[in-house]
Amino acid sequence: MNETLLERFIRYTKINTRSDERSNTTPTTKVQEDFLFMLKKELEDLGLKDIHITPGWFLTATLPANTKKDYAKVGFISHVDTADFNSIGINPQVIQNYDGRDIVLNKEKNICMTVEKFPNLKKYVGKTLVTTDGTTLLGSDDKSGIVAIFDAIIYLLKHPEIEHGEVRIAFGPDEEIGRGADSFDVKDFNCDYAYTLDGGPLGELEYESFNAAQIEYTIEGISVHPGTAKDQMVNANLIAAKIAGMFPEKEVPEKTEGYEGFYLLHNMETRIEEAKMTYIIRDHDKQKFEARKQFCIDVAKKIEQEYGNIIHYNLFDQYYNMGDLIKDDMRSVNIAKKAMENLGISVEVKPIRGGTDGSKITYMGLMCPNLFVGGENFHGQYEIACVEDMLKARDTVLEIVRLSQR
């Protein structure tokens, strides 16, 4: 209970909890199971109530109300898994009083995070940063969220004079591969509204997310010896390249921002005899989202018209824009705004250009916007976390709890 937020963060980030989209288990990796059991023991040591791991592998717990006044039941949710990047041997580096210059992550391997490439570093002058050693990710997404929630609970336990209602917390698996929230039990969690702590820099508040879908193309080619290939070979490599060329080149993640949707060629494996391509489809606007899905179907139809029945596709929705529901019940958003304003934090309301567990949880009936956690450059070797901003995330949780009196 005397462990600082920074000490806890470093301890957690050193633990590999990477998920695996190739696995069909829940969680998809044993390391996530182990981490959840470790967190369960730590919650038990704090004396929280109703601690259990649900059949869907969400670790949930309750800090009981300490007043008879009427407070809403508020939940705070983070995920334990890290993204698809090297997570073995994470060696966090702490930079006190950052000076605004380029950061040498690994002198031996000549890996440097430059201000030219990452101008966002200038925001952190004078603050304490945690970085990688240049060979792994850090795991601020979402261990910053976990430690902010933990630290808020510990603070409330140390300060019983702060009146609060029932506070629920949940830590879940496999968010990075889009599966974790599928097994979240809203009825078991039993909250009036909740928040995922899975955002980025200080002040971010997000309650609009993409509508998301995925399409998988399979192209059946015919491989014969090139010397006798005339009128016989069907080269799936070339057809896959043709499909890629049919997609609008400017509607991709690297050329869009804000509310602009995109197509992303996520995976492609090709040989002459067979090619497999996976696209993800994203748009905040539901009508444009449906049009994007139809475009992907039309691509397959055009290939079929030219080459015959050699292409097959599997199209499915992944999640929807939570803003379409939250806009009709803005309590959670308004309280979060007020909490940040009370703390002197400049609020930046913006759409999520990705997904959070909150997208699916909202469609299960629990409004669940997303809060900042104080990290940036997620999912890679240049990931950073700011200690002062993680503490601000903790303070935002505390202020939301305080403001939740009906």
Please report, in range form, the residues annotated as the binding site for Zn(2+): 79, 141, 176, 198, 379
SS percent in the chain: helix, strand, coil, step 5 = 35, 25, 40
Which residue in 46, 72, 70, 69 sits closest to 59, CA to CA?
46
Question: Looking at 142, 175, 357, 389, which residue is catalytic?
Answer: 175
Contacts of 319 (CB under 8 A, 6+ apart): 178, 209, 210, 211, 212, 355, 359, 360, 363
The count of other CB atoms within 10 Å of the CB of residue 273 is: 16
- Cα angle 265-269-274, degrees, rounded to a multiple of 5: 120
379: left (phi over 0), alpha (psi -120 to 50) or beta: left
Question: Looking at 20, 33, 81, 208, which residue is catalytic?
Answer: 81
- Tokens 């505390």 locate to 398
Given CA atoms 374, 213, 294, 286 in this order, what sign does their dihedral have?
Answer: negative
DSSP secondary structure string for all residues of 230-283: TTT-B-HHHHHHHHHHHS-TTSSGGG--TT--EEEEEEEEE-SSEEEEEEEEEE
Give the strand pairing for 348-349 and 204-206: parallel
Asked if 81 is an active-site residue, the reply is yes
Contacts of 30 (CB under 8 A, 6+ apart): none
Alpha carbon 226 to its chain's center: 46
CB 290 within 8 Å of CB 227: no
Which residue in 131, 150, 210, 165 sits closest to 370, CA to CA?
210
DSSP secondary structure string for all residues of 76-143: EEEE--B-SS--TT---EEESS--SS-EEEETTTTEEE-TTT-GGGGGGTTS-EEE--SSS---HHHH
- Cα angle 132-138-140, degrees, rounded to a multiple of 5: 135
Binding site residues, as ranges? 79, 141, 176, 198, 379
Asked if 175 is an active-site residue, the reply is yes
- C-alpha 178/C-alpha 72 separation (Å) is 29
Catalytic residues: 81, 175
